[in-house]
Amino acid sequence: MNDIGKVIDRFDDYSPYEDIDMQKKSDGIKDDLVNHICPHLLFCPECKRETIIYIKEK
């Protein structure tokens, strides 16, 4: 599985300059801001499927 980046980076509506905490409030993923988790997309080249994993922020 390849980590292809943060889920919020895939939202076209939000510029990369927008505050990341504001994006987290808008991404529809519950409690990622409060719990300091960062949803990332993984892509498996064999299955051609995407999976979301949650990476704990430091």
- Which residues inside 7-26 make contact with Zn ion, applying CB under 5 A? none
Size of the site for Zn ion (CB under 5 A): 3
HSE-CB of 28 using CA atoms within 13 angstroms: 3
47 touches Zn ion (CB under 5 A) = yes
Q: Please give the Cα distance from 50 to 14 (Å, whole number).
A: 21
Distances in Å between the Cα of 27 and the Cα atoms of 1, 18, 47, 48 are: 23, 13, 26, 23
* Residue 45 in contact with Zn ion, rule: CB under 5 A: no
Which range, of 8-16, 20-28, 36-44, 50-58, touches Zn ion by CB under 5 A?
36-44
The residue ranges that bind Zn ion (CB under 5 A) are 44, 46-47
